[in-house]
């Protein structure tokens, strides 16, 4: 265990000494169950087995899992860190959808939709989750019109702080036009990827390679947007962009494109068949920067979806009247 390095990393995250001790102990516990292996030589199968044991012993606390995720990030085990993003990602989504459904419709409908719709225990493998997503989508489509359930799905369900987009808002205010703003937004994103490439660090869940930077730099819709008339078109960067770019098999290409931990594994297994309408949730995430810039909720349209068999996820938003 690279304890000194881990402690230093946690201090950069403003963790107190008591929190640091608990995090170190969590990694020690993991290493203690590896037998002759060390935490540095562990594999994804080792990690999956350990998480299953934690779940069975009801020791699968969020603090413990976050500590392990941070350790693998700090020590450049990008493969294991990215697995944790799939395990931990999406935990806020269902409670957020529930709250938005109640606020937009009513409590009684929310209770009917979410009756029996529960996430698997924390630490469960990602492939257990799409069955919950399928059940939720079936309930939403039974209870609500497409117009209403799409609006429910397109909220800020990952609960991203709006302050994260302050830089974009300033860029918009200083730009001479929306087209200039979108070009600058894209250029800033590409520069950020170049920084992560130089440092060898994961950008969100993405490993950045030279061809990923080239791919994003060559398509302004990715991590940016392109205006046509009164709409902005944007395309999601693939979840695993380097694997996506190197893949020829259409099924695997869709799998590498999909970000959603609540549906992604169903692309490979074919079960369950999650409705492409679920991707309006991703549209809500994608439109958030533009909503922050324009200062109002925007209508988003799903144009392409990997759940529908497309090779990418692509959306458009309507620019508010008077701001084109």
Predicted structure pTM score: 0.87
Boundaries of every domain in the chain: 3-88, 93-151, 162-318
d(CA 58, CA 71): 21
Could you report the average pLDDT of every consecutive run of 10 residues in the chain (324 residues)? 93 92 96 91 95 96 96 93 89 94 97 94 92 96 97 94 91 95 97 95 90 98 97 97 96 96 93 96 96 94 97 96 82
Helical ranges in the chain per DSSP H: 3-12, 17-32, 44-57, 62-74, 78-88, 93-104, 107-114, 130-143, 146-153, 166-174, 178-199, 210-217, 241-245, 250-257, 265-269, 280-294
CA dist list (Å): 156 to 93, 144, 188: 9, 20, 23
**Unique residue bearing structure tokens 């069955």:** 131
Q: How many CB atoms lie within 10 A of CB 88?
A: 16
């Amino acid at each position: 265990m690279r304890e000194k390095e881990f402690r230093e990393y946690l201090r950069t995250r403003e963790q107190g000494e008591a929190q640091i001790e608990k995090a170190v102990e969590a990694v020690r516990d993991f290493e203690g169950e590896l037998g002759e292996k060390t935490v540095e030589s562990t594999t994804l199968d080792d990690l999956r087995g350990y998480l299953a044991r934690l779940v069975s012993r009801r020791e699968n606390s969020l603090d413990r899992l976050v500590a392990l995720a941070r350790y693998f990030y700090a020590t450049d085990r990008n493969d294991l860190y990215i697995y944790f993003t799939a395990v931990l990602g999406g935990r806020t989504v269902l409670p957020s959808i529930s709250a938005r459904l109640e606020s937009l419709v009513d409590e009684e409908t929310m209770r009917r939709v979410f009756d029996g719709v529960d996430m698997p225990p924390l630490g469960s493998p990602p492939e257990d989750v799409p069955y919950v997503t399928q059940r939720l989508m079936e309930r939403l489509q039974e209870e609500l019109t497409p117009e209403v359930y799409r609006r429910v799905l397109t909220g800020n369900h990952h609960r991203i702080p709006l302050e994260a987009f302050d830089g974009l808002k300033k860029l918009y205010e200083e730009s001479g036009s929306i087209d200039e703003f979108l070009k600058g937004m894209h250029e800033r994103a590409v520069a950020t990827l170049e920084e992560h490439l130089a440092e060898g660090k994961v950008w969100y869940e993405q490993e950045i390679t030279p061809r990923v930077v080239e791919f994003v730099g060559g398509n302004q819709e990715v991590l940016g947007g392109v205006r046509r008339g009164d709409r902005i078109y944007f395309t999601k960067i693939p979840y695993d962009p380097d694997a996506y770019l190197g893949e020829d098999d259409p099924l695997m290409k869709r799998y590498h494109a999909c970000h959603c931990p609540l549906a992604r594994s169903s692309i490979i297994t074919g079960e369950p068949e999650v409705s492409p309408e679920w991707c309006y949730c991703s549209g809500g995430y994608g439109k958030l920067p533009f909503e922050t810039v324009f200062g109002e909720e925007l209508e988003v349209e799903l144009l392409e979806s990997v759940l529908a068999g497309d090779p990418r996820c692509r959306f458009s938003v309507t620019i508010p009247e008077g701001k084109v």
